[in-house]
Amino acid sequence: ADTFTDSDVQKFSNANLISVKMDANDEDAHEVFDEYNCKGVPHLLFVDNKGNEVDRIIGYLPPSEYLARIQDIRNNKHTLDDYLTQYKSGKANVDLIAGIAMKYEERGDSDNAKEFYSILIKDYPDPISEYYQRGTYYLASDAFKNGIQMALNAYIGSFPDSPFIEEAFYTMTYYYADKEMKEDELKVYAQMLSHFPDNTGILNSYAWRMAEIEINLEDALVKAKRAVELSADDPNSQANIIDTEAEVLWKLKRFDEAINAIEKSIVIDGENQYFKDQKEKFIQSKKEASQPV
First to last CA, the chain: 71
Give me the pLDDT at residue 61, please: 82
Statement: residue 40 has pLDDT above 80:
no
Least confident span in 31-45, 85-99, 116-130, 201-215: 31-45
Residue 245 bridge partners (DSSP) = none
Statement: residue 1 has pLDDT above 60:
no
pTM of the model: 0.81
Amino acid at 58: I
Least confident span in 61-70, 104-113, 219-228: 61-70
Statement: residue 201 has pLDDT above 70:
yes
Contact 272, 238 (CB under 8 A): no
How many Å apart are CA 197 and CA 248, to the nearest integer?
A: 19
Statement: residue 9 has pLDDT above 80:
no
Q: Closest by alpha carbon to 159, among 186, 185, 131, 187?
A: 131
Residue 125's contacts (CB-CB under 8 Å, 6 or more residues apart) are 132
Least confident span in 4-18, 62-76, 126-140: 4-18
Amino acid at 52: N
Give mean pLDDT, residues 263-279. 97
Statement: residue 80 has pLDDT above 50:
yes
